[in-house]
Structure 1
Amino acid sequence: MNHTDNLLQFINGYKLSNALFIAAELKIFDYIDGVNSVETISNQLSVDPKALEIILDVFCSMNLIRKSDDKKYILEAEWKPLLDSRSKSSMISLIQLEHYLSTKHTGEDRFKDVLISGRGSDDLNLNAKEGKENVYGCVMDAGGQYSSVCIAREFNKVKKGTILDVGGGMGTHAIKICQFNPQLNIDIVDKAEMKEQCIKNIKEHGMEDRIHFLTGDIRDISLEKKYDGILESNVLHLFSDKMNQKLLVKLASALHKGGILIMHDFFLSEDKAKRPVSSIYTLDWMMQGSFFHADAQDIKQWVEAVGLEFIKEVQYERIPTSIIITKKI
């Protein structure tokens, strides 16, 4: 592909996003089974068959689906878990959330305002006002199934005791950590809006004796006891560098000597330019006002300043995020 074609794809990327947004809304991918014809699918969805065919051919060009010789469309095996709304690891809820954000939070005018003013908006408060806290929680629960396994494996180094899960949302990571290690208990700290769904999720997994929900904002609450491990998953990007460094002082103080602090987030490459997905999400962090733009070396400086040892950063092929492991000296 030449540079002109590349640029044209970038320029028209919003059209591909719109096609995905409407496909997620109508659950089009649930009907792509290699059996039904375009006419059958269009009747089931109450859409125009020619328009549907055009959209499906676009998805073929993106290698999301393929067309058989008899013009039936097939959802590729590697995409089915992500695009079929019935799958446990489906990303349809994320696509729907991104659609909402594109209309409310990340439009062109807001980009321009932030670029000129250098000030974003506090999306944590906006989300609460718009009733989107649980939507975010559900998205993170669906999208966090694989990362929770990666995180739980790292906490296997903590043989017993209690872990603090900061901003634990629906309890996805806490549940997985407890499943991997029967000697660990978890305290989840998150806002009141997350409590009902989190406790419901905990009970469904039979973990109510081991996982406890503490209502509060980590920026404001006092941590009354020390922990054997602490998890910050997709929390750092919510806050400014100054606030993150302030929180690290609090978290390091709440950690037993030898305890580990694990951070899971969209960390950038060392030159800030070689992880495309993380780079794209920094635009979100800019819009929300945190301007999170950190790589592992930045985090290393932060943790060493509060008496923690930087152990390693771990990247995984299946997820765009990475995990940083630190230890209290």
Structure 2
Amino acid sequence: MSKKEEKSSNPARILELSGKYWESFALHTGVELDIFTLLDEEGMTIDEIAAELSLSKRGAKAIVSALTALGFLEKEGEIYFDSREAVEFLSKNSPEYLGYMVRHHHYLSKYWAFLPKAVKTGKPIKKRSIHKPDEKELEAFLMGMFNNASLIAPRVADLIELKGCKTLLDLGGGPGTYAIHFCLKNPELEAKIYDLKQSAVFANKLISGFGLKSRIRFVPFDFTKDTITEKFDAVWLSHILHGEGEKSASKIVKIATSSLNKGGKIFIHEFVLDDDQTGPLFPAIFSLNMLIGTKEGKSYTESELKNFLASSGIVDIETLDFEGPSQSRIICGRKK
């Protein structure tokens, strides 16, 4: 039997994948209604949950049942309470709360329904509103980025060699998660976050929360019209190139390189496709998200990212021994 015949002999995977969004929307709803925060300290009955959150009893019973079946809630007698996973990641009382990213995914879902149109036209469905964003969507996006980055930033800070570096530029750093953890790891390091002004409130709040106001500063910056006049010992670019086409992405790398001191280090953190563009899965699917939401953005291959660096005068280019939870990688080099 051929591989093609083996794969088509069982439709279960196709049907499961096709309806997977039902499970996603159940999770999204649990987060949006804040069910997990309500149940993280003590359990409640269906009637109590419905009354506390102003839900219909029918709706409360259906969503609580679904979340229990998904393993996010547990039940003893008539009492429902959070699973350990929900307490750790889905309650707002947890420092590891991932709800903002869940909400971000929910906001994106309305555009994914029009993916066939985007594939046909090659044009985005969602108009980028980064300069005039919806406040709730902006909060979900930026704090979602903080949620995600916080899961791996301590590990990245251990991996990235910044010995001898006194200054670091976090270009497009949003809420500044990586700048924060790099400074926590390297007591002599000072950092600046260059990003659009809309990120300032979130970044400054987090910087203050970590007690790093004297070492990290946010600088409003738009790479399409602003220039960087300062010089840094290291530059970090995390998940900003995928929002741009090749010409703009190359320009960003050149801007970053031009801000480096001689011998300075540059690090690119991205969802990286294999050079044959057949995987890994997350970067490949993420390219569809960029098709929906940007004019030219996409996931880049390892060779493309290395070429951006080489054409900007970077040497000693290498891919670090690192893979993030969404199959992200880090490529780095040094300015001559």
SS at match of 1:125: coil
Structure 1 position 143 matched with structure 2 position 151: no
> Structure 1 residues 122 and 328 mapped into 2: Cα distance closer, same or farther (>3 Å)?
farther
Q: Which residue of 5, 24, 42 corresponds with 2:50?
A: 42
Q: 1:241 to 1:61 in 2, by over 3 A?
A: farther
| 2:3 equivalent in structure 1 | none
The total of aligned residue pairs comes to 325
1:125 aligned to which of 122, 129, 133: 129
Contact 1:152 1:177 in 2 (8 A): yes
* 1:65-103 deviation line (CA, Å, top 9, x unaligned): 4555x4654544244322222212211112222222223
Distance in 1 between the 2:63 and 2:49 partners? 13
CA contact (8 A) 1:158 1:228 kept: no
Structure 1 233/61 Cα, relative in aligned 2: closer, same or farther at 3 Å?
same
2:305 corresponds to which of 299, 303, 306: 299
Alpha carbon RMSD of aligned pairs, Å? 2.8
The equivalent of 1:289 in structure 2 is 295
Matches within 5 A, 1:1-329: 3-32=10-39, 35-49=43-57, 51-67=59-75, 70=77, 72-73=79-80, 75-103=82-110, 106-109=111-114, 111-120=115-124, 123-125=127-129, 128-131=132-135, 132-287=137-292, 288-308=294-314, 309-316=316-323, 318=325, 320-329=327-336
Report the AA paired with residue 27 of structure 1: D
When structure 1 is superposed on structure 2, of 169-178 and 74-83 the one drifting more is 74-83
The answer on whether the counterparts of 1:158 and 1:229 sit within 8 Å (CA) in structure 2 is no
Residues 57 and 325 (structure 1), Cα distance of their counterparts in 2 relative to 1, 3 Å cut:
farther
Structure 1 counterpart SS, 2:300:
coil
Cα pair 2:131 2:198 within 8 Å, conserved: no
- Give the distance between the partners of 2:206 and 2:268, measured in 1 at CA: 23
Per the alignment, in what secondary structure is the counterpart of residue 228 of structure 1?
strand
- Please, what TM-score do these two structures have when normalized by structure 2? 0.84
Distance 1:221 1:208 in 2: 24
Quote how far apart the aligned CAs of 1:46 are.
Answer: 3.5
Indicate conservation of the 8 Å contact 1:122/1:289, yes or no. no
Alpha-carbon distance, 1:320 to partner: 4.4
The CA distance in 2 between the partners of 1:270 and 1:75, in whole Å, is: 43
Identity of matched residues, %: 22
**Partner deviation per Cα, 1:235-289 (whole Å, 9 max, x = no partner):** 1111112211122222222222332211122223454444333333222111122
Provide the rounded CA distance (Å) in 2 between the counterparts of 1:317 and 1:250: 26
Return closer, same or farther for 1:295/1:59 CA change in 2, 3 Å cut-off: farther
Separation in structure 2 between the aligned mates of residue 158 and residue 280 of structure 1, nearest angstrom: 36
Moved more, 216-225 or 58-67: 58-67
**What per-residue deviation string (whole Å, max 9, x for no partner) do you get for residues 18-37 of structure 1?**
21222111112234458434
Pair 293,205 (structure 1): closer, same or farther in 2 beyond 3 Å: closer
Q: Deviations over 1:129-163 (max 9, x none)?
A: 43444442222223221232233224443323211
CA distance in 1, matches of 2:224, 2:156: 23
Unmatched runs of 5 consecutive residues or more in structure 2: 1-8
Letter in 1 for 2:198: E
Aligned to 2:169, what secondary structure does the other structure show?
strand
Q: Which moved more, 1:12-21 or 1:180-189?
A: 12-21
CA distance 1:188–1:317, shift in 2 (3 Å): closer
Describe the SS at the equivalent of 1:14: helix
Q: Which is further off, 160-169 or 303-312?
A: 303-312
Contact 1:37 1:71 in 2 (8 A): yes
The answer for unaligned runs of 5 or more in structure 1 is none
Per the TM alignment, residue 17 of structure 1 is displaced from its structure 2 partner at its CA by 2.5
**Structure 2 CA distance for partners of 1:58 and 1:129, relative to 1, 3 Å:** closer
Shift in alpha-carbon separation, 1:268–1:52, aligned structure 2, 3 A: farther
Alpha carbons 1:88, 1:142 under 8 Å: kept:
no
Q: Could you tell me which amino acid in structure 2 is paired with residue 226 of structure 1?
A: K
Q: 1:58 to 1:269 in 2, by over 3 A?
A: farther
The question of whether the paired residues in 1 share the 8 Å contact of 2:171 and 2:256 is answered with no
Q: Does the 8 A contact of 1:121 with 1:289 survive in 2?
A: no
